[in-house]
């Protein structure tokens, strides 16, 4: 099957690069994934080649392959929570050597020269290149981690600390940094802060763990009462309130320094804003595809803030992993084989997972 690269030249995914690669791709808006042969570039001087061991399934993967964000360029090999082992390093590579355990997240490149890049915020570079479904600087498509290998500039590769279990670490490459970054940059990483976490899925459960590791008091705000036991006993949350329970919501009014809102469905903001103390901050990391309503008064009364945050820079991603290793923060996962991926996507659409699927790539991705 031919794909059109950025220069309008038809090139087959199998032949556009010199090295054979194999993965699973979605071909159309059904989002059904199936075996896909493609190719990877040669290892350049700054590159690292990675044999992929595990890849987490992020909800963004699902949104993308079903074209819910209307930007799909099929065929799409998703996956941006990649953990693997280095098999080759370029001559300019200094950070890694063959055999190192490494990770790749949502970005494989950025301009490296704008203010955001220079300050370590590659995630806010206007010209960043996503790990999959993006057009790389050479005009070819990027393919993600539901595959056997990936070749990446060392700048966009992070080291996995030796003590971390690789499968449980994979989701940190996206979910982990996505919640770590706002906790850090909005001052919620100071001991004694009261942090609310809205939604208890892939992002939410990791947010609870990081916030607790920072020394915060954590209240989970969820729409489902049945998650309470797990939130308190397994994840370590201090309190749990059901968003539709007006008594609980009222009792918690004006008590939180910050809220990490991980919910990607449309939901009312005002009741959550009421939970904030004056000058409190609500950081949106879930990406609802429809606009949310915001009454100006909800912000003006109390001088509150609503901010958006998107993954994190490379320096922060490494810092997050080192912090996670020190504080024993890993994701709660369900490890699956490659063959199960379509079923996993169906279950993910129904939020039927505690709390992240991770594909055991090395052991189950077999060439047809």
Stretch that binds another protein, among 152-160, 163-171, 238-246, 271-279 (CB under 8 A): 271-279
In the complex, minimum distance from the CB of residue 315 to another protein, in angstroms, rounded to a whole number: 15
Alpha-carbon dihedral sign for residues 26, 348, 206, 325? negative
Alpha-carbon gap, residue 29 to 94, rounded angstroms = 41
First to last CA, the chain: 16
Size of the site for another protein (CB under 8 A): 34
Q: Is 116 one of the binding residues for another protein (CB under 8 A)?
A: yes
In the complex, minimum distance from the CB of residue 259 to another protein, in angstroms, rounded to a whole number: 13
Query: CB-wise, 227 or 304, nearer to another protein?
Result: 304
Report helix angle 175-185 to 314-327, nearest 10. 100
Stretch that binds another protein, among 151-159, 162-170, 275-283, 314-322 (CB under 8 A): 275-283
Q: Is 99 one of the binding residues for another protein (CB under 8 A)?
A: no
Residue 254 CA, chain-centre distance (Å), reads 30
Q: 323: closest CA among 186, 190, 164? A: 164
Residues 120-159 touching another protein, rule: CB under 8 A, are 121, 124, 126
Query: CB-wise, 216 or 284, nearer to another protein?
Result: 284
Query: CB-wise, 7 or 69, nearer to another protein?
Result: 69
In the complex, minimum distance from the CB of residue 273 to another protein, in angstroms, rounded to a whole number: 9
Residues 232-261 touching another protein, rule: CB under 8 A, are 254
Q: CB neighbours (10 Å) of residue 50?
A: 27
- What the block records as the tokens of 292 is 């949310």
Q: Is 187 one of the binding residues for another protein (CB under 8 A)?
A: no
Q: Is 325 one of the binding residues for another protein (CB under 8 A)?
A: no
Q: 359: closest CA among 23, 16, 2, 1? A: 23
Query: CB-wise, 35 or 268, nearer to another protein?
Result: 268
Report helix angle 202-213 to 314-327, nearest 10. 70
In the complex, minimum distance from the CB of residue 262 to another protein, in angstroms, rounded to a whole number: 12
Q: What is the DSSP letter of 66?
A: T
Write the Ramachandran bin of 211: left for phi over 0, alpha for psi from -120 to 50, otherwise beta: alpha
- Cα→Cα distances 73→6, 135, 174, Å: 11, 9, 21
Q: Is 110 one of the binding residues for another protein (CB under 8 A)?
A: no
Stretch that binds another protein, among 74-82, 135-143, 237-245, 302-310 (CB under 8 A): 302-310
Q: Is 279 one of the binding residues for another protein (CB under 8 A)?
A: yes
Q: Which of 57, 167, 286, 357 binds another protein (CB under 8 A)?
A: 286
Alpha-carbon gap, residue 315 to 126, rounded angstroms = 18
- What the block records as the tokens of 16 is 């556009």
Q: Is 271 one of the binding residues for another protein (CB under 8 A)?
A: no
Q: Tell how strand 101-104 and strand 158-159 pair up.
A: antiparallel
Alpha-carbon gap, residue 173 to 320, rounded angstroms = 9
In the complex, minimum distance from the CB of residue 311 to another protein, in angstroms, rounded to a whole number: 9
Q: Is 201 one of the binding residues for another protein (CB under 8 A)?
A: no
Query: CB-wise, 84 or 199, nearer to another protein?
Result: 199
Contacts to another protein by CB under 8 A: 115-116, 121, 124, 126, 254, 277-279, 284-288, 291-310
């Amino acid at each position: 099957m031919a794909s059109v690269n950025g220069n309008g030249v038809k090139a087959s995914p199998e032949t556009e690069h010199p090295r054979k690669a194999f993965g699973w791709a979605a071909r159309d808006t059904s989002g059904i994934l199936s075996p896909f042969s493609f190719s990877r570039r040669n290892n350049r001087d700054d590159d690292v080649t990675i044999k992929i061991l595990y890849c987490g399934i992020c909800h963004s993967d699902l949104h993308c392959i079903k074209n819910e964000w209307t930007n799909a360029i099929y065929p799409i090999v998703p996956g941006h929570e990649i953990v693997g082992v280095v098999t080759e390093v370029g001559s300019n590579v200094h950070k890694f050597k063959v055999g190192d355990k490494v990770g790749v997240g949502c970005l494989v490149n950025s301009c490296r020269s704008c203010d955001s890049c220079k300050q370590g915020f590659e995630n806010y570079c206007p010209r960043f290149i996503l790990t999959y479904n993006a057009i790389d600087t050479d005009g070819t498509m990027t393919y993600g981690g539901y595959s056997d290998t990936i070749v990446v500039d060392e700048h966009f590769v992070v080291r996995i600390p030796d003590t971390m279990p690789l499968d449980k670490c994979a989701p940190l490459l996206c979910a982990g940094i996505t919640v770590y970054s706002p906790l850090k940059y909005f001052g919620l990483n100071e001991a004694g802060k009261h942090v609310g976490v809205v939604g208890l899925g892939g992002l939410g459960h990791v947010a609870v763990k990081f916030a607790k590791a920072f020394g915060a008091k954590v209240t989970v705000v969820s729409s489902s009462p049945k998650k309470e036991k797990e939130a308190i006993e397994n994840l370590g949350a201090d309190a749990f309130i059901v968003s539709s329970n007006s008594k609980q919501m009222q009792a918690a009014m004006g008590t939180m320094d910050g809220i990490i809102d991980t919910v990607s469905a449309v939901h009312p903001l005002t009741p959550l804003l009421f939970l904030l103390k004056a000058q409190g901050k609500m950081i949106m990391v879930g990406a609802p595809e429809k606009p949310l309503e915001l009454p100006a008064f909800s912000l003006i009364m109390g001088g509150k803030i609503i901010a958006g945050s998107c993954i994190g820079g490379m320096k922060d991603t490494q810092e997050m992993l080192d912090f996670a290793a020190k504080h024993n923060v890993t994701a709660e996962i369900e490890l699956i084989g490659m063959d199960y991926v379509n079923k996993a996507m169906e279950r993910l659409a129904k939020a039927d997972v505690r709390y992240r699927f991770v594909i055991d790539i090395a052991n189950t991705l077999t060439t047809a």
